[in-house]
Amino acid sequence: MEDPFRHINPAKLPKHIAIIMDGNGRWAKQRNKPRTFGHSAGAETVKTIAEAVRKLHIPYLTLYTFSTENWNRPKDEVETLLHILAEKLDEERETLMNNQIQLNVVGDLSRFSQELQRKFKDIFEATAKNKEMVLSLALNYGGRKEILSAVEKILREKPTFAPGNLTEETFESYLQSGNLPDVDLMIRTGGEYRISNFLLWKIAYAELYFTPVYWPDFGEKDLAEAIKDYQKRERRYGKTSEQIKNENQ
């Protein structure tokens, strides 16, 4: 089988990829299956893509797994999503260890069951020393809520803090995603062109890539296409092309 990553420049890989995994429900509908069937298929794609990112030696991957808005979905769908999540935590523990992947969560786990919280605590501890890749799941997460929570935490912990002394670095340390670097490449599957309240602070200078492919069908070839597109772009960070050229000379 042809290696889908053979034309990728290893010197220009993104350090942090974030993915909005969209299209599970529509994928299932095309097959006259319930939405939950699509979520189960999507969970298998998570494993495929996480292993591919690890193989490429990209150190950070963050997946939009369950947003704060997802609680508004039908109760049986929410319950199925959480059941799949709990099941995969048990099933993929060995894979995480064998691939030296550390599991991380961005979001608020307090709304989940005690049993699910315990599973997360156990796997956090088990993978804490894994150094090859950090796989972050955004769970019960919303970008605006993350920023608001950071402000509230600063006000609680530093009530006399002078606003003029607040730096981006200090503020970022209070974010739920504060332990992660900025996102270099953000991918959204499923054909929608929205950010959907995902990592609003961290994607400030991210390259955005949208694909019509539904998440359950998103494979190594699709990931390779996204990375190749990323590598064609000139990342300016607000600078002109001439400034970038001079800096690289």
Query: Domains of the chain, with CATH numbers?
Result: 12-142+180-247 (3.40.1180.10)
Which range (19-28, 71-80, 172-181, 223-232) has the least confidence? 71-80
Active site residues: 22, 70
Confidence band for 239, pLDDT divided at 50, 70 and 90: low
Which pTM does this prediction carry? 0.93
The percent of residues above 70 in pLDDT, for the chain, comes to 94
Is the per-residue pLDDT at 243 higher than 60? no
pLDDT of residue 103: 97
Query: What b/e sequence results for 17-33 when a residue is b if at least 16 CB atoms lie within 10 Å of its CB, and e otherwise?
Result: bbbbbbbbbebbeeeee
Angle between helices 220-232 and 35-55 (to 10 degrees): 60
226/219 Cα distance (integer angstroms): 11
114/32 Cα distance (integer angstroms): 35
40/21 Cα distance (integer angstroms): 13
102/209 Cα distance (integer angstroms): 25
Confidence band for 159, pLDDT divided at 50, 70 and 90: confident
DSSP percent split of the chain into helix, strand, coil, nearest 5: 50, 15, 35
Cross-strand bridge partners of residue 138: 64, 106
Each residue of 62-109: pLDDT tens digit? 999 999 999 999 999 999 999 999 999 999 999 999 999 999 999 999
Which range (3-7, 19-23, 26-30, 100-104) has the least confidence? 3-7
